[in-house]
Chain A
């Protein structure tokens, strides 16, 4: 029952030295995005409690969340969602649908679909500034 001996170089160094291929990066990213989204849910639930304090309180709070910096942050958050969601489906296919035979192709699909939807969301979110930009060129 003794604890396992520490690796000679220490935990962090051993992990950093460990040879990483595409699949290990996919796994690391899945962890980071999962933890990020969990942290976001906590903040999100707390931020939404102003709804119970009436219109003034909520719309005042939204003044901050609709500044350009937060708009961009909200867009970037979508990249965590997309990666974690599609890679999550990939994990399920590997576990339950013989996905081990084609998991590398699936990874390409994960990244491809993610990029396309991310850009699509960017257009949806920023269509007004984009339209204004083109209008001012004319």
Chain B
């Protein structure tokens, strides 16, 4: 991990995964948007959301979305910080915040999905 905290690691595996997850997200995010707005109730009422949440397909969809989306967003954010030279302590703190908040919000979101 330390290797990546001073703009030193090549970051190549992350670079490739950033592209693969990105391509996957094209379908997932744009699809999500059209489903949520297909009619005014779809994304904005408990009844319509729950109808999806009980369905295994949408459960898998949401689990994939939150995992791939958070990883892509946070790996991308970390990539931006890597562009700047920082003292190792600063860089490690930022890395820690990204990882810990990412895990916390992943757990929070997965908990919502698996509650139904």
Question: B53 contacts A124, CB within 8 Å?
Answer: no
State which size class the interface on B falls in: 35 or more
Question: B46 contacts A85, CB within 8 Å?
Answer: no
- Give how many A residues have a beta carbon under 8 Å from the other chain's beta carbons: 38
The chain A residue with its CB closest to the CB of B36 is A74
Q: Which residues of A contact B80 (CB under 8 A)?
A: 31, 35
Contact flag A41-B73 (CB < 8 Å), given A58-B46, A66-B40, A88-B22: yes
Q: Which residues of B contact A38 (CB under 8 A)?
A: 73-74, 76-77
Q: Is B30 an interface residue (CB 8 A)?
A: yes
Q: List 12 A-B contacts (CB under 8 A).
A: A31-B80, A41-B69, A41-B105, A51-B53, A52-B115, A55-B47, A66-B40, A81-B29, A82-B30, A89-B26, A91-B22, A128-B40
Which residues of chain A have a CB within 8 Å of any CB of chain B?
Answer: 3-4, 31, 34-35, 37-38, 41-42, 45-46, 48-49, 51-52, 54-55, 58-59, 62, 65-66, 74, 78, 81-82, 85, 88-89, 91-92, 95-96, 117, 121, 124-125, 128
